[in-house]
Amino acid sequence: MSEKHPFHQWIQLEQPRLGTRVTYATDDFFAAKERCIEPAAPIFIDDKYDDHGKWMDGWESRRKRTPGHDYCVIRLGVPGTIRGFDIDTSYFTGNFPPQASIEVCVSEIDTPEDGWVEMLGKTELAGDAHHFLPIDNDSVWTHVRLHIYPDGGIARLRIYGEIPADFTGVEGFVDLAAIENGGRAIRCSDEHYGSMHNLNVPGRGVNMGDGWETARRRGAGNDWVIIALAQPGVIERAEIDTAHFKGNYPGQVSLEAAVFENDAAAAPDSKKWQTLLPETALKMDQQHYFEALEAIGKVSHVRMSIYPDGGVSRLRLFGRVSEG
């Protein structure tokens, strides 16, 4: 089930499937540094121990007996603009760090030593809690360094933001909806079972949970999702993949598109939407390719409507980047 939070409109830059890696930690004796960007929500297993002690689902350093503090370095798979953090201490109660801070930098190496600038000053933390921290900074960054004072455990670090489009030198068709190109799902009618942000990630869905799925609709109407394209362009091909959705795929789908000045203007009830793909039947568990799309010119946003509800694994929108 998708969890709503203050940064739900932004993508998670720390996702390993985008190529993000934890490249260094001063210490991860109790729990591996890589776990702090694990995609799944943290869990607690009461009676699970390993050679180092109690198994914890996160990054946890040993108790520091010397001056200083611990930190870890995260290299983003795709450089991005950061809009917020969630420092999640779920299940860390007597072993969470009381404070944390975050630095960022731009570098071509895995673990840079220089060039760090503070993005989030020392911030008080609580145990077993989410800490949603907004960021006002429009620069693009490649690395994040999380400091904890003086030691302890962090279940997850979520890094929310956006990926700026860069199609310099690109010719031919490009997926304008792809997350790695800067496409982003911005709102939807419902995402009870699966997040709208799964629609435009790399690769095919690995299971039914790796897609966008709504609750069963019992009233009138239908479900929908709106995608902000990486950059305005002319969409000429679409792919809608219902991988793993068998008894719960939508009966039909349609695509509409338009040019909007910003994401806020791309309202679901706007009169500007134009038909890109009329209502069309879907089949279970397969990729659907559409090339006979309506010629409506340059667009910035796309609305996919499903009838009446159900699940879609991936949405690809191929087009030529607009220069105007």
Band of pLDDT at residue 3, cut at 50, 70 and 90: low
Interval 161-190: pLDDT, tens: 999 998 888 888 899 999 999 999 999 999
1 assigned to some structural domain:
no
Q: Are 196 and 58 members of one domain?
A: no
Q: Are 102 and 72 members of one domain?
A: yes
Among 162, 197, 224, identify where a domain stops.
162
Q: Are 17 and 93 members of one domain?
A: yes
Q: Are 148 and 24 members of one domain?
A: yes
79 assigned to some structural domain:
yes
169 assigned to some structural domain:
no
Interval 189-235: pLDDT, tens: 999 999 999 999 999 999 999 999 999 999 999 999 999 999 999 99
Among 141, 162, 183, identify where a domain stops.
162
Interval 258-287: pLDDT, tens: 999 999 999 999 999 999 999 999 999 999
Interval 77-122: pLDDT, tens: 999 999 999 999 999 999 999 999 999 999 999 999 999 999 999 9
Closest Cα partner for 41 from 3, 94, 96? 3
Report the pLDDT value the prediction gives residue 323, as an integer from 0 to 100. Answer: 58
Q: Are 30 and 153 members of one domain?
A: yes
Global pTM? 0.93
pLDDT at position 322 over 70: no
Q: Are 134 and 184 members of one domain?
A: no
Q: Are 53 and 152 members of one domain?
A: yes
Mean pLDDT of 6-18: 96
Could you give the count of Cα atoms lying within 13 Å of 185 in the half-sphere of its Cβ? 23
Report the pLDDT value the prediction gives residue 16, as an integer from 0 to 100. Answer: 97
Q: Are 213 and 134 members of one domain?
A: no
Report the pLDDT value the prediction gives residue 199, as an integer from 0 to 100. Answer: 98
Cβ(276)–Cβ(235) below 8 Å? yes
147 assigned to some structural domain:
yes
Mean pLDDT of 288-302: 96
Query: What CATH number does the domain containing 109 carry?
Result: 2.60.120.260
190 assigned to some structural domain:
yes
Report the pLDDT value the prediction gives residue 1, as an integer from 0 to 100. Answer: 44
Q: Are 153 and 185 members of one domain?
A: no
Q: What residue numbers bound the domain in which 152 lies?
A: 11-162
Report the pLDDT value the prediction gives residue 4, as an integer from 0 to 100. Answer: 77
Quote the number of domains for the chain. Answer: 2
